[in-house]
Amino acid sequence: MSISIINGRLIDPAHGIDDQLDLHIDGEFVVAVGDAPAEFAAAEVIDARGCVVSPGLVDLAASLREPGYEHKATLASEAAAAARGGITTVLCTPDTNPVIDNSAVVELIHRMARKLGQTRILTTGALTRGLMGEQLSEMAALKQAGCVAVSNARAPLASTLVERRALEYAATFGLTVFLRPEDRHLRAAGCAHEGAIATRLGLPAIPSAAESVAVARDLALAEHTQAKVHFRALSTLSAARMIHEAQAAGLAVTADVAAHQLHLTEMDVDDFNAECHVSPPLRTLTDRDALRRAVADGTIAAICSDHQPHEPDAKQRPFPETEPGISCLETLLGLTLRLVEEKVLDLPTALARVTSGPADILGLPYGRLRVGSPADVCIFDPQRHWTLDVSKMRSEGHNTPFDGWDFPGRITHTLFNGRVVYRAADD
Amino acid sequence: MHNLQLNEHGRLRHFLTIEGLSRELLLQILDTAESFAALPGRPVKKVPLLRGRIITNLFFENSTRTRTTFELAAKMLSADVINFNISTSATTKGETLLDTLRNIEAMHSDMFVVRHAQSGAAHFIARNASPRVSVINAGDGRHAHPTQAMLDMFTIRKHKGDFTPLRVAIVGDVLHSRVARSQILALNTLGVSEVRIVGPRTLLPTEARALGVHVFHDLAEGIRDVDVVIMLRLQNERMDGALLPNEHEYFRLYGLTDERLESAKPDAIVMHPGPMNRGIEMDSEVADGPRSVILQQVSYGIAVRMAVMSMAMQSQADLGGEA
């Protein structure tokens, strides 16, 4: 299949391209940017006039629930949601059942993903066996099976010693370790930010220090072990500042933030809104603004979905008993583009944070559009606004606080490996 | 923001928290309670206001005392009362709170009186219950215990009259206390001149200013010249969580004795939501002394709960059914 995408504004942040350029695809790859190759005859021509032609999005963390939690979501439903959200590469978290701590589970997921053909599903292996935080996983085998990173998902590690050993062992194989910085003792049974709202609502609270204490510890161990450490899902000003300082001092650590943390605050939890029960918790406006600045200056190089689809029952309980997380593959681009509307980021930088930024953290060849790149493309109309209707979401999880929100940038097409996997006209 | 507790006429539909309720409404609760307060002294202790109504006590957390006063209040209003004591272990066996709710709804209750260990549980139930059911919060987690706060306000008004010149100190474990949160909101809504909280930093919320209070760590300073001293119960489990060294030191620093009480105004009253730990929160001298109004609180509790129940039930008449 050959496709030409013509008349669009091509933005390829990895190569600093932002220009009126056509894109030509043959088979699974980009064959030309600008003029078509001689004698190139496209079987389909997509007229992208007025639209932005961007690399497909790369999402570093989504919980896809299969195998084991099919009552929440399945690979099929979430792959379709990713395609609709313009996401062409997604790393699934290892918190499946069984856990992604052996090559059989990795192969199962990869095989199912290939069959679906909707988006590229990559796997994050477990850092410890069963995510129990005590014994190291078979990282060499996981890497060989195709895991592109290792993490302990949201489960804590038993001790600082286990963390040190895990970092050293991962570094042996050049595996990047994703860490979610949270001190388990300071977190305790908390479910909301320790601030004005949790105080008023009497919700068990998580102090900001739960994150900064962990970041300080993790930075010290990253420096000591020289492992590749990537901080997942930051929520506080102090964490962003510490990581910025460590980067400035030459430590090769990276960080991401969940898209919702750049828009929501503790105020949104008011009235016990369980859709805003997330982990780490929504913090203050000051934290949100600091995270926005850290995204703008590159301290935080990736914006993630941190997708957590749930069955309705998971949120139908008193707030502290609800399960944390938002189903948000379909709003990752929308939330990112809102930052452009709010003048936090310019459009190429915003797109970098959801394409080449996350890809570069792991050295992946995706999230870019040069000749020879896999033909993963997201085409959207930046002028065209759309409203999220939760009942029309493709994800199995309808848990989102963004129902009824207005988003810029309606996606018209998503191409994955040279094939159109989403077309707004068919939706 | 839409206030879940009020109907479209601004009348009390549910009673979940003091937050968002006006001074006028709180005074209306107190005035209505006043009209019920004389009943226990009469030979006929019932009024027929809620005859034919079914009130269900849904207690997910044990409390004989609070449940009994709600039951008594309902019976004095001539309502029929059903008691459900649902231990948390029963719900963890598989039935969700929503399923429990649907089951009990099928028994045609007009009102749920709810106590639950999780903050927000009463809101959750009010949001998910049928529109013909009123929900009264009898305590949810650390969040709110609004009827307790209103009976405390009733007690204060009985003794002090006007709220506006009053200084009130709340002493002890504010952090974990739903009673304190509701008291603070009620006192501030009723316009007292100052609310103070007194305790070690481990037992006070870090964002105390969000509550509209002044923070003290020294008991004598904290109760200096106050009109009302409210002592909070110290749960035994606080000793296990590295919040306090032991009961002995707590009493030495924050236990109320006659001597310490001297820094308060001479006519200051002493309150406690019960159950009280003698020798930990306060001396027996104080608890049984002339300034203690602790037992009055308990009897006023019935009148206040009658007021809230009858008001919430009357607002159901706005829905259009029988009054």
Peptide bond into A37 cis (omega under 30): no
The answer for residues whose C-beta is within 8 angstroms of residue A423's C-beta and 6 or more apart is: A412, A413
Looking at residue B1, what is its pLDDT?
Answer: 46
Which residues on neighbouring strands pair with residue B231, listed in sequence order? B171
Stretch B217-233: mean pLDDT, rounded?
97
Domains in chain A, please, with CATH? 55-362 (3.20.20.140)
Pick A316's closest partner by Cβ from B4, B98, B118. B98
Question: Residue B323 burial (CB < 10 Å; 0-12/13-18/19+)?
Answer: exposed
Provide, as residue numbers in chain A, all residues whose Cβ is less than 8 Å from the Cβ of B98. 313, 316-317
CA distance A221 to A127: 15
Report the interhelical angle of A237-248 vs A285-297 (nearest 10°): 30
What percent of chain A clears pLDDT 70, i.e. is strictly above it? 100
Show residues of chain B in contact with A284, CB under 8 Å. Answer: none
A→B contacts (Cβ < 8 Å), by residue, are 194-204, 207, 270-272, 313, 316-321
Q: What is the mean pLDDT of residues B258-268?
A: 96
Of A200, A316, A320, the CB nearest to B118: A320
Q: Given a cut of 80, is residue B259 above it in pLDDT?
A: yes
Res B239 pLDDT > 80? no
Q: How many CB pairs under 8 A join A and B?
A: 74
| Contact (CB, 8 A) for A410 and A381 | yes
Q: Which residues in chain B have Cβ-Cβ distances shorter than 8 Å to A202?
A: 119, 140-144, 178, 181
Instruction: Give residue-wise pLDDT tens across range A62-121.
Output: 999 999 999 999 999 999 999 999 999 999 999 999 999 999 999 999 999 999 999 999
β-partners of residue B12 are: B6
Mean pLDDT of chain B: 92
Kindly list the residues from chain A whose CB atom is less than 8 angstroms away from the CB atom of residue B142.
202-204
Helices B64-76 and B294-316: crossing angle in degrees, nearest 10, is: 50
pLDDT at B90: 54
Whole-number percent of chain A with pLDDT over 90: 99
Region A312-332 average pLDDT? 97
Cβ atoms of A108 and A121 within 8 Å: the answer is no
CA distance A359 to A353: 9
pTM of the model: 0.94
Copy the structure tokens of residue B184.
Answer: 């603070």
Least CB-CB distance to A318: which of B120, B144, B205? B120
For the residues of B82-97, what is the DSSP string, one character each? Answer: EEEE--HHHHHTT--H
Contact B97 A317 (CB under 8 A): yes
Q: Give the pairing type, strands A17-20 and A9-12.
A: antiparallel
Inspect the interface and report whether the beta carbons of A319 and B140 lie closer than 8 Å.
Answer: no
Span A262-277, pLDDT tens digits: 999 999 999 999 999 9
- Chain-chain contact of A195 with B96 (C-beta, under 8 angstroms): no
Chain A residues with CB-CB distance to B118 below 8 A: 317-321
Residue B322: pLDDT band with limits 50, 70, 90: very low
Over residues A5-14, mean pLDDT: 98
For residue A216, pLDDT over 70 is answered with yes
- pLDDT tens column, A144-180: 999 999 999 999 999 999 999 999 999 999 999 999 9
Mean pLDDT of B94-121: 89
Share of chain B above pLDDT 90, in %: 75
According to DSSP, the residues that pair with B198 across neighbouring strands are: B171, B216
Higher pLDDT among residues B99 and B161, named by residue = B161
d(CA A332, CA A85): 7
Report the residue of chain A nearest B128, measured CA to CA: A316
CB-CB neighbours of A420 under 10 Å: 17
**Distance in Å, alpha carbon of A207 to nearest chain B alpha carbon:** 10
Q: Does the distance separating the beta carbons of A272 and B120 come in below 8 Å?
A: yes
pLDDT recorded at residue A91: 98
Q: State the best of B143, B178, B179, B209 to mutate against chain A, taking most chain A CBs within 10 Å.
A: B143
Nearest residue of A to residue B4 by CA position?
A: A271
Strands (E), chain B: 54-59, 80-85, 111-116, 134-140, 167-171, 194-198, 214-216, 228-231, 269-271
CB contact under 8 A, B181 and A202: yes
pLDDT at site B94? 64
Residue carrying the six token digits 């006063």: B69
* Cα separations in angstroms, B61 against A106, B88, B91, B118, B139: 45, 7, 12, 10, 9
* Better-predicted residue by pLDDT, B39 or A316: A316
Contact call for B210 and A195, based on CB within 8 A: yes
pLDDT above 70 for A57? yes
Q: Which of A178-182, A275-279, B26-30, B62-66 is predicted with the least confidence, judged by mean pLDDT?
A: B62-66
> What's the token pair of residue B169?
């100190």
d(CA B56, CA B244): 38
Q: Which of B118, B121, B211 sits opposite A200 (nearest CB)?
A: B211
Give the DSSP letter string of A83-123. Answer: HHTTEEEEEEPS-SSS-S-SHHHHHHHHHHHHHH-SSEEEE
The identity of residue A176, as a single letter, is T
What pLDDT is stored for residue B62 in this prediction? 83
Shortest Cα distance from B118 to chain A (angstroms)?
6
Joined tokens for residue B35: 């009209």
pLDDT of residue B323: 38
Does the distance separating the beta carbons of A316 and B120 come in below 8 Å?
Answer: no
pLDDT at B93: 57
CB-hemisphere CA count at 13 Å for A49? 2
CA distance A313 to chain B (A): 9
Orientation angle between helical segments A347-354 and A332-341, nearest 10 degrees = 160
pLDDT at site B320: 58
Which residues of B make CB contacts under 8 Å with A? 1, 4, 19, 96-98, 116, 118-121, 123-124, 128, 140-144, 178, 181, 205-208, 210-211
Chain B environment of A208 (Cβ under 8 Å) = none
Three-class DSSP category at B146: helix
- Sort out which chain B residues have CB atoms less than 8 A from A318's CB and list them: 97, 116, 118-121, 123-124, 140-141
Alpha-carbon torsion, ordered B290, B293, B299, B303, to 10 deg: 130
Closest A-chain CA to B185: A200
Neighboring chain A residues of B91 at a CB cutoff of 8 Å: none
Question: Given B144, B178, B206, which is nearest A194 (Cβ)?
Answer: B206
Q: Judge: A199–B19 Cβ closer than 8 Å, yes or no.
A: no
The reported pLDDT for the residue numbered A365 is: 97
Q: Name the minimum distance, in Å, from the CA of B187 to any CA of chain A.
A: 15
Name residues whose C-beta falls within 8 Å of residue B228's C-beta, 6 or more positions apart in sequence. B156, B160, B166, B167, B168, B169, B268, B269, B271
Q: How far is residue A348 CA from its own chain's centroid? A: 18
To 10 degrees, what angle do helices B97-105 and B121-128 make?
Answer: 50
Q: Which two tokens stand for residue A367?
A: 């999230």
Please report, to the nearest 10 degrees, the dihedral formed by the alpha carbons of residues A132, A133, A136, A139 taken in order: 80
Among the listed residues A357, A420, A322, A260, the one whose alpha carbon sits nearest the alpha carbon of residue A59: A357
Domains of chain B: 23-145+299-319 (3.40.50.1370), 146-294 (3.40.50.1370)
Per-residue pLDDT for A352 more than 70?
A: yes
Contact A203 B96 (CB under 8 A): no
Residue B148 to residue B183: CA distance in whole angstroms: 8
Q: What are phi and psi of A356, to 5 degrees?
A: -70, -30
What residues of A act catalytically? 306
Closest residue in A to B139 (Cα–Cα): A202
Match 């109907």 to its residue by tokens. B7
Determine contact, residues B112/B104, Cβ cutoff 8 Å.
yes
Mean pLDDT of B195-219: 94
- At what angle are helices B294-316 and B23-37 packed, to 10 degrees? 110
Buried b (16+ CB within 10 A) or exposed e, B8-39: eeebbbbbbbbbbbeeebbebbbebbbebbeb
ipTM field: 0.92
Angstroms from A344 CA to nearest CA on chain B: 28
CB contact under 8 A, B119 and A318: yes
